[in-house]
Homo-oligomer: A and B are copies of this chain.
Amino acid sequence: MKKTLVALALTGVFSVAYAQSSVVIYGTLDAGVSRRTDTDVTAVGKRDNNKLGFRGVEDLGSGLKALFQLEIRYEPDTGVIESTTRPLFQGQSRVGLQGDFGTLRIGRALTAFQETSTAFEPWAGMPAVAGYQTDLQVAGYTSDPLSPAGNSANRFSNAVFYNTPVIGGIFQLNVTVGTKEAANNPVIIGRGTATLPQFPANTMAPVNPYSLSATVTNGPGAAYVAYERNAVSTKLWSIGASFKPIPDLKLMGSYQRQDQDYSVPINPITKAWLIGANYNIGAGMIRAGFGQKTPDNVLNSAAIAKTKQFSLGYDYNLSPRTYLYIDGTRKKLTPAATFNFYSVGIHHNF
């Protein structure tokens, strides 16, 4: 580093230019006030993920580019990273190449399914209580079950990520393949016993987890199909579509089916579907959605709840980068509680 600094001292201007040309700082700070009707406290929280990221693209000539991205996730109300069991760069840490062959990256990020599906959900994949991604759209599925408790449920670490180019202007295939490396999971009994658990602590994955998604975009319509198999051989498939009858209105819906038969003795199947809409009106946008999640034999087990969710939201754009929002949602869990959730806040991209 000494040498670097000396060089820097001699060529400060160049060094600065160099940095500016290779790193883009970006992020989101979203904070608001919310209330859950089954609690008696008004809370400060978020609607969207909060990000502080660093990314860059280097043109290598002849259409080839090098890409990197590092993304910190944090909680705006307390200033902590998303969870003490999550990485500093929870959002993603990836590096790779992009060219005529597509985009090939290595590191940690959302799986092909998790990333693709967010475009077919009225809250665009935001983890808002009013949104559908976290719970319904993924049918309660976990992409990374062998991580420590509290770690991300929709990312692969130690993975290779490939996206084809957009073929014929309409089609794209996305592939994510993870290694079998152990990720420090706690004991998971699964189909085993307390003394002989199916997945002991820090198990090496019995299979390579992988995720596939294919998207078709044609004029006002778009659709995807995805299949994912995680490290404990839970299988999920999902389909979804969106359509714009008029430019200001986007209708969308998706269906997913999760099969945990390899590791769950009862209720291995979970099905979920949702429909939603985004409608641009003046400087604002209305978000609306309805969906439900149904584990099998739900009536046989109070622990396995059927979920119904209806949500309405409104964004008021102060600029292309900043908007105010208000959300309202009603969540009905059977057999279990029903509650409403309301929030109002500000969403700022930088």
Name A residues whose Cβ lies closer than 8 Å to a Cβ of B: 1-2, 4-6, 8-9, 12, 15-16, 18-27, 29-33, 41-44, 52, 54-61, 64-72, 74-81, 87-98, 103, 106-110, 115, 157-160, 163, 174, 179-181, 183, 204, 318-319, 321-322, 345-346, 348, 350
CB < 8 Å neighbour of A89 from B4, B22, B79, B158? B79
Residue of B nearest to A90 (CB): B79
Determine whether the beta carbon of B74 is less than 8 Å from that of A115: no
Determine whether the beta carbon of B5 is less than 8 Å from that of A180: no
In the complex, what distance in Å separates the CA atom of A2 from the CA atom of B71?
13
In the complex, what distance in Å separates the CA atom of A87 from the CA atom of B89?
15
Q: Which residues of the partner chain B approach A23 to less than 8 Å between Cβ atoms?
A: 19, 25-27, 350
As for how many copies of this chain the complex holds, the number is: 3
What are 13 contact pairs spanning A and B, CB under 8 A? Answer: A1-B109, A5-B57, A15-B57, A19-B25, A29-B68, A31-B107, A58-B348, A66-B346, A68-B350, A77-B181, A79-B88, A79-B89, A95-B348
Determine whether the beta carbon of B81 is less than 8 Å from that of A88: yes
Determine whether the beta carbon of A15 is less than 8 Å from that of B9: no
Where chain A touches its partner, the secondary structure class is strand
Determine whether the beta carbon of B318 is less than 8 Å from that of A60: yes
Shortest Cβ gap from A342 to chain B (Å): 15
Q: Which residues of the partner chain B approach A70 to less than 8 Å between Cβ atoms?
A: 27, 29, 52, 74, 79
In the complex, what distance in Å separates the CA atom of A61 from the CA atom of B12?
14
Q: Contacts A179-B41, A181-B41, A318-B60 known; A97 to B346 CB distance under 8 Å?
A: yes
In the complex, what distance in Å separates the CA atom of A350 from the CA atom of B59?
12
Q: Contacts A21-B16, A24-B19, A44-B159 known; A79 to B57 CB distance under 8 Å?
A: no
User: Which of A5, A79, A80, A95 lies at the interface centre, i.e. has the most chain B CB atoms within 10 A of its CB?
Assistant: A79
Determine whether the beta carbon of A27 is less than 8 Å from that of B5: no
Q: Which residues of the partner chain B approach A108 to less than 8 Å between Cβ atoms?
A: 76-79
